[in-house]
A and B are shown apart, each in its own frame.
Chain A
């Protein structure tokens, strides 16, 4: 018979011990971080796992391997990425490092004074290599370090091209060539073009590819909103007339209005639709699923602007908040994320490219993905023009116009009218923003 191993603890001992532990725990929570450990601490709020699975793994791995500061990360919900940051910044409690979508989605925070300019804070070569894009410039400064790129393109199914007697390695380059290809596809019983527009993103992507065709710079697009230019001018709504043309010729898939964006892209990968719009992060999977039979191209040309035919690469990024206690430490962490070893780790964790022109692309096995990186990522590219569209215009005009044209209830000209009216409405609702946009137009018109 063994003795009980429970020690003989009196109630007084128990209470005393509890008090000691409780006090220690409370002090641990109350005392400032520097009292607990003599090291720098950084807060990082980020987003992206939602669109790029594996990013969490990369973030966790990077933080674990980083020795110069203790980084505490928080994955944000999609709906609050901007509002959560802005509320915290207004209260002086924003994280040191914040995830930033491109264009107006972070520029508003710049105008509110919540973000630090990164020139002189982050090394120039790293800043340039990360391609924060022209949409991150304001007042001569840059406000984001590029994190990962989102090349945007028109995709097509090579097998369906072959079936219709089209050359799968020579996709249409001009609008007339596109119409001819669509006609051939239609004659072969194949739905030529489209996707899913029910959630509106197809409308946005269409503008991404088509509006720049008649622009000489993104500053010109901003002028459309501040009232210096007008969507009723035929050249600024020609892209919607082209969409109307696709509709009236019967080239758009019949269920386009009731499908969402990604199920629409799935149709191309599944061989049920010949041409669609897609994004780089989908390419590895689609290419694999079709045995390399997914091709990509820039939108066939109809416009005469300087931006016509230039590949589109949007870039997600990271910035430093004005509340950062040690901006240099935050900048050092961003530089660390752009070190060759971390760029490789990014690829390993996500199977996707980091936004850095120094990334060693030899690790990319899929020729389609490598080609996309070489032709979209490393050559001259433009950002996504819809990222400088004011939210009110985006919801009221950019999305509805495409949806209504596709369902046949609006013409391209009417779309221009709606866009012009909405731009005016935006100016009425946001008189304080017009001046900011006017200044921004100067940066957007300047050469990189």
Chain B
């Protein structure tokens, strides 16, 4: 009996140090964030105020504006999927120079976000290269104030996100495409299926898992990982005005710029809970993708 118990416990003991380390590194701060979200924190601690931080956040228009902007960014995902699919399929079909193109399309993903965001920001200035080209082509009506107008700024951020994040999609999709059974595609070709029919009836059904995975990852990115884009493109303010303010930036402002760690913690908890809800479909999608590949 004792022997059997020790055999069963043994594996857990092996992983215990790592679990303890993870609990300390991630678990403790998470608990503190939950605790802070119920306090009016000044400096490093403060009095307990119950749900007041949550009440204040949920009644603040700026918070909902930030949420809305995150949701608006979700609109970029269909574009990312389509672009990634299109380019990955073209690369898969080994168009001339495909190896070089593969490197080129992945470059944006390798470069740090602040670097490409700074470059893009210069490109999209009112007197920048993009507008200069448009004016040169007599398309003045398209020469917008890309980063200076509240109506346009978030869409400009979205363009940048689509450009960079599509690179990940391309690589994921291409990896999946390269593992497809070419015999099936060849059979389709011999049966007279045109390019579109092959994509629609043969390729896409087999890629469903990896597309789902990419979509879920992208949703999490749009909700909880666009800070660097917004920080650089929005002049470090989520601007102009509050036009590019997102929840992450809201948290950053509350913590760093407005000395409200309690509010930042409460907003972080809300964001965390939403992200956790999204992690389950992500795991499911990943499992499905693996099963398809097997």
Contact = CB atoms under 8 A, between A and B. Distances in A.
B253 to A, nearest CB: 5
Contacts of A108: 259
B188 interface: no
B257 A394 contact: yes
Contacts of B125: 255, 258-259
Contact of A404 (B42, B56, B145, B241): B241
Of the candidates A86, A198, A256, the one having the most CB atoms from chain B within 10 angstroms of its own CB is A198
A432 B40 contact: yes
Given A258-B126, A390-B258, A392-B260, A399 B60 contact: no
A399 B239 contact: yes
A141 to B, nearest CB: 20
Contact of A391 (B126, B242, B258): B258
A233 to B, nearest CB: 23
A131 B236 CA distance: 31
What is the interface residue range for chain A against chain B?
Answer: 35 or more
A247 to B, nearest CB: 13
B148 interface: yes
A256 B108 CA distance: 29
Nearest to B237: A200
B240 interface: yes
B72 interface: no
Nearest to A425: B60
A407 B149 contact: yes
Interface string A379-411: 000000000001110111001100110010110
A98 interface: no
What is the interface residue range for chain B against chain A?
Answer: 20 to 34
Contact of B237 (A91, A114, A395, A429): A395
Contacts of A86: 43-44
B181 to A, nearest CB: 51
Given A79-B256, A86-B44, A258-B146, 13 more contacts: A83-B256, A86-B43, A197-B240, A198-B240, A257-B148, A257-B149, A258-B125, A390-B258, A392-B260, A395-B237, A396-B242, A403-B240, A409-B150
14 contacts: A87-B44, A89-B43, A108-B259, A112-B43, A114-B43, A198-B235, A255-B126, A257-B147, A258-B146, A395-B253, A400-B242, A404-B150, A409-B150, A429-B263
Interface of A: 79, 82-83, 86-87, 89-91, 108, 112, 114, 197-200, 254-260, 390-392, 394-396, 399-400, 403-404, 407, 409-410, 425, 428-430, 432
